[in-house]
Structures are given as C-alpha cells and as structure tokens.
Structure 1
Amino acid sequence: MTETAETVAVSGVGVVSPAGADETSFWDGLCAGRSFARRSAELAGMPVDFACAIDGLDVDEAVGGRSVWRMARFVKLGLIAARQAVADAGLDPATWDGRRVGVVLGVGVGGVSVLTDNALKLEAQGPGAVSPLLVPMMIPNAAGGEVAIALKAQGPSLAPATACASGATAIAVARDLLVTGQCDIVVAGGAESVLTPLVVTAFARMGALSRRTGDPGAASRPFAQDRDGFVIGEGAAMVVLEREADARARGRVPRALLAGTGSSTDAYHPTAPEPQGRGAQAAVEAALREAGWSAADVDHVNAHGTSTPLNDAMEGMLISRVFPHRPSVTAPKGVVGHTLAAAGAIEAVACVLTLEHGVVPPIANLDAPAVEFDLDCVTKTPRRQQVERAVSHSFGFGGHNVVLAFRRA
C-alpha cells in the first residue's frame, strides 16, 4: 500500500432518511437491520403500494423561514441534510469566505410531484392555474441552488445527474474541486423524493420494484436468493469535505478520510448493468489507484445492493472477483430502500459511521447470500469490526459507476 493522493477530510455529515432524520436515529435504524418499508396511502391502488418514506418529520418546520413555500420536497430534504452537515463540521456560513465554498448536490429526477400537479391544473383549469414557480421548483439543480443561497456559498454550485449514482458522483466531483484548489470547503451529497403514483408505477411497469405487496417489510432483500426488485425510498445526505490539512489546521479532527474516487460507464444498456461487471470493476480499480491501495487493503464493502436480480448478480460477481479475501459486505437498501439519487450519499455516510464506530450494520431480510455469491455478508445483527479502509459502490441507470474509497481518520 502506497497512499500518494491528497487526502480529503469528511468533517461533517447530515442525513435525512426513512430510518431517521438525523445521524443518530439513522445509524440506530441501520444497526437494527429492519426494513422501513410501509404501505402508502398515496400509492393505494397502484401495482406497488408501498415505499420507504420519511415519517415523523415536519419538513416545512425543519426548513423554516419564509422561503419554504417555493421549494419542492427534494429541495427541502437536501437543505435539511446540508445544514446538519455544516453544523456537524463546526462551520458557520456567516463567517466563512463564501467565494471558496462549493455545493455539489446530485439529483436524479427533481420535482416530479410539482410537475404532475401543475399538469393536472393546466388540463382542468387552463394556463392561469399553472404556477409561475413551476420551473424553479421542478428543475433538479434547484436543490443545489437553494443550498448555496442558504449557506452563502458562492463557489461552484453543481448538480450532477447520474441516476442512482448521483449522490456518489457529487462527492467525487467535490473531491476534485478541493484537490484542484478551486474550493476550500465543499458541501456535497444527494437528494431525492419521488414517491408519487406516476413514478412508482413507472418503476413497477419496468419490473424494477419488488412485488411483495403482502409483506412490504420483507421486500428489500439484497443478495438473497429470492430477491425480486427494490423498494423505492426518499431521502437526502450531505457531507462537508475539506483538505485534510485545512481541517486539522482549524482544530477539526476528521470523521473519516476520502482517499480516492473512481468513475466509469458501462456503455452497455440504458437500465441493465453489464453482466460481468467490467465497467464497475474499472471504477473500483480507479478508486483504489487514486487512494494508493491494493484490493487486499480493503476491509469492508458498502454494496450498492439494490435487491434486484441483475444488479446483485453483477455486484456479487464483482466483489468476489476483485476482493477474494472476502471483506465484510453490507447493503443499506435493505433497511432504507433505494433512495435513488440520494443513495450514494446516504451510503457514504454509512461508511463514515462504520469506520468511526467499528461496527458493520446487517443487511435486512437476509439470512445468507444466494448460493452463487461468495460473499461475507453481515446478516441479522451488527458485526463489531475494526474497519480501516472501505469502499462504497454506486451504480446508476445509463451505466454510471462510481466508487468512493474511505479510510479511518
């Protein structure tokens, strides 16, 4: 192992998820290893009528202020997570040089509920019923823009859209902004909220969702023999990244270190992964190369683990091929569902917490991995393990592959 790349510090985290609307409840929910999938009144009568929604949080109250009315739900979730992360990092937007602060917030779909509501109003009531704020509420970059406004961040503000890899892409881009000297601080992550009849039905029609309507809590089961699709969720997670030297100079002990990132594209199919995982492997190898690690240095894999037949087959093959020493494997989507663009960021936070606590959360609904997978999956109860180095996988429609390499600070 030869760590040569400039290391970036994770100095703060924020998360709003179905398992909890703050770091502590999120971590407790992951470690409990039980799914948060529930039936949804809004989805009643749809082919799939359940999801992993955020309950017990008044989102408008949490955002506060007079501007909340102009924000779609995904924007609000991103802003809540961003504020948490900045506070956790011990930073104050009132005192920092905003010109050196960037925001990178990945969103896959955007304000689809705002769009559909206004489409119905147009049809029923005519043009005068359409909101003049439809476009700024709907567009995916609205989250990054609103976070930048709230934090007075005047550096680059970017909104990568790489489908279910968007949150991880945002963190990878943020690292580049720091390493190249364009920013001194970057707030990065992902947000998504599309639990609408239209979007959920669209995913169901393409065969991506689990059809276990009789038992929603057992539906998301990454790497299980009888997996049949993912459970859609909503959420947001953000991290504050700084160069390690800068964080330590201001007296901040990093929560973890982002040692490397890797990205690739399958160039194979719009929705299906390349079956052998060659593109995904290229992303893993790029992250390891940037970190200066060998594959054998990796103690833990936070898997994309969607609970779909094709993704898990590809990823199981990838992990066993690249990491034959069998590092521990977890997959948070068993607990929180697939939060789409937010997933890579939520799982990055899970990686940071695993490194900090020395605990690997179990995969919900999994007794043992499918017989064809040679994986050391953590099941049933959390595993105490001193994890020094971990990778987090994220894969998205369009063939996007992103891997983040974290190590203990």
Structure 2
Amino acid sequence: MMDLIALRRDLHQHPELGFTEFRTAAKVVEQLTALGYEVLYGQDAIDGESRRGLPSPEVLEDAYQRALRDGANPQIVEKMRGGYTAVIGILKGKAPGPTVAFRFDMDALPILESTDHDHYPQAAGFRSLYEGNMHACGHDGHTTIGLGLAEKLADGNFSGTVKLIFQPAEEGVRGAYAVVQKGMLDDVDYLFCHHLGTNVPLGEVHGSCAGFLATTKMAAYFEGVSAHAGASPEQGRNALLGAATALLNIHAIPRFSTGETRINVGVLEGGTAANIIPQSARMVVETRSATEEVNQELERRVRNIIAQSAAMHELNYRIEVIGAAIPIHSDQELAELAIEEAKQVEGFTAFQVGAANSIGSEDASFMIRRVQERGGKATYMVIGTDIPAPHHHPKFDIQEEVLPRSVKLLERIARRTLQAEFSLSRAEGEDRK
C-alpha cells in the first residue's frame, strides 16, 4: 500500500517549477505504469506549441540534468526533455461506461522555503532541497492524492474509463491550455478538479468554488538604441523610458462598471549602467477580471498602451502571452454529488455545495470549459486543510491527515460515476467522441 506521507514529503523536498517537473513527472509515470495504467507522457500528452511562459532552453536543460542526478529514470525523462512534463494515466474498467477524469497539478514556486524551527517541514527534515524553489501551494499534496487514487482504482472494478491528468505549470496559469490543445479532454464526460487549503479549514469540503477571475499574463519587450548618456544622449532611444511610460499608463486604466478588474505590472527591468542609454527593457504585466469579456478589453488597452509608448520613444516592441485563464462555472450536479460522497468519508464534518472562495485564477478553467463545450460536466472542489501561512508564503504547509481522506473522497466519486448506467443528463458519450 502506498505511503502517502512519505511520497508527499519526497515531492516536497524536490520542488520543480513549471515545465521542469522532470523528476516529479517521471515518478508519476513509474507509479502509474506499475499499477497497470496506459500512460501518455512527453509530446504524447501536451501540445508543445501551446505551452505558455516556457523557460529558456538553458533553464530546462539544467532542471533536466538535476532530475537525472536525483534519480529520475533516464528513459522516461528523455521523452520529457525540453519541457514536455504532462502525464496522463488511463485505465479502462471491466465494462463500458463514461469517461471520468481527475486533474492534479505538479509544479512548485520560486520561493525560498523558511528555515525557522516552527516550520514543520524544516523541523521534520523534509524542507526543500532546491534552494529558492518550494511547494508553497500544496501541489505536492495534489500529486500525492492523484497517485493514491490511481492505486485505489487499479483493480479496474468499474464501468467506463478513468483518466488521471497530471498537469505541469499551473502556477502562472501556463500548462492546462496545452494539455487541452492536445485533445486530452475531448473524450471526458465528467471532470473533477480540486485544491487543498484556500482558507477552508480541515474537515470541510466545498463541492465547487466560485469567483475565479479571467486573466492574461504578458511579457513586453522594448528594443531601442544605446548611446553615451553624457556625450551623445540624443543618439539613443531609451527602451527603459518607453517601458516606464507604458507602466504608468497601464496603471491609469480606469476601473470598469461592468465587472471587477485587476491590473498589475509585476516586473520592470532594463539597462546596464548609469551612463548608458538603455537599449532593451522587459515588462511583465497581468490583467484580471470577473468576466472574460472585460478581461479581453483590458488586454486590448494594455496592448495599445505598450504600442503607443514604444512609438513615443521610437522603439521596437513585441508582446508574448505567458499565461492565461478564464472564469470557472462548475456544474451544480457534480458539486452536489461530491458533497454527498464527502459525507460518507470519516474526518469530513462540514460541507458546502459551493462557495465564493476563489484563490485568484486557475488554468483548470480551460479543461473545464472544453469538457462542458463537448456536452460533459465538471466541477472545481476545495478540500480544506488548516495552513500556518498563506499560499505562496515561505512557511506554507498542509496537514498531512488530509491526504488519505482526499484519496478516499475521490475514490468514492470515481466509483459513483464509473457506472454503465450513470448519467446526469449528459450528451451521449458516443455522440461526442
């Protein structure tokens, strides 16, 4: 029987950022293969051209070599080289039935984990071994739950097909879209996504979660002409000045009466010395809104400001979308089903069908929409765990007793829905497939 605590702690010690989850994904492949699943990974599981915010080739290769040094199976990670770190486990049951999918994100964050003695991973000896990287959002727990579920369903004693989606690069909302574009959700009748924590206490389960914002993350690159700032400043074209002009005007975009909005320039960098006109500059900006339509308008205005700011200073520019998400609209029927099953799991004592406790934006939104567009149903659940510090904080941690409970809940959901006669007024599967 899988030791969930040991697995989670191993993953916590080896946190890998988006599209560099080589060691993590290789362990997932090994476990799923050993359990008898058909396993798709590498370029078979994700569309390379649709990946957003892909790290540089140098960063990808360094992470690849580190994974090999830390015991990743060379034959497995070779197929993932270059950032193809999605893994899909598929298991057909003993009779025909629906296709039910569960999604688990795997990536960590570029955060230096606390070394304080009151931080449990430090005290218990499983703090991150990769300085500057940390599982500060619970994805080590999500991956562990996914593998625990895989073990519970390995008997194949159900009708239909279970599909376990282990997704890279959720942070920055970068990875799900490429999995969708590969067609991995096209045959799914029911999709269940979940997150641990999000200010929901241990023992509480929410069948769905409302309030996720649409978002676009963009990197803008400005290119000018360098010159001596003292001897010939008029010959220069100041890229950093153009980027700063854009920054100020982006933050001056008005709020909207038709829906809440967010704007933030989180990175502005450029220049090399005090006496050199900066030749290049880089800016990273995000838009968010409660509606997809307003977010699209925010994005249009940001792009226009960047273009006009570059023109003012006679610069060249380009814009790259490095992440995106859309709002989530869960299906009430699946949310209610999840709560019905949660009430049968020991340790869960408080329940809400839905709640407005969003954690910002979520790229599982693309998976949920694809399933719903093709006639299926989906929900995004929250499974509570008390946390000593907020998500994305150096002292973030989860309560490990939530892991076996979560596995049991997802197993119950899977066995409930993996029945030949199960239906929630869905379109006929064969018509969609």
Name the larger-Rg structure: 2
Between Structure 1 and Structure 2, which shows a larger proportion of helix residues?
A: 1
